[in-house]
Amino acid sequence: MPSITVNVDDELKDRMERHPEINWSEVTRQAIQEKIETLEVMDELTSESELTESDVTEIADRINKRGRERVEEQSD
């Protein structure tokens, strides 16, 4: 099985070392696997889309703005 190297800062490494019972390689492998699966689903969903990257960015910005507005409304 191939290996990869992951760089973390000193603070994160110290925090990880406080939990020697955790297999950090497995945690990393699972996180990568989940991300890849999400990306593959997104690729499938958008494979025949006519949206440009600019369109997607604009839509994402609108969603994020509305999400922030809702959070602000709920905290009032």
* Predicted local confidence at residue 37, as pLDDT: 94
Residue 72 in this model has a pLDDT that exceeds 90: no
CB 24 within 8 A of CB 16: yes
Residue 2: inside a domain, yes or no? no
Report in angstroms the alpha-carbon separations of 61 from 22, 55, 66, 75. 37, 10, 9, 21
Residue 28, CB half-sphere, CA atoms under 13 Å: how many?
10
* Predicted local confidence at residue 48, as pLDDT: 81
Residue 15: inside a domain, yes or no? yes
pTM over 0.85: no
* Domain span at 68: 10-75
Residue 4: inside a domain, yes or no? no
* Predicted local confidence at residue 9, as pLDDT: 97
Question: In the chain, how many domains are there?
Answer: 1
Residue 1: inside a domain, yes or no? no
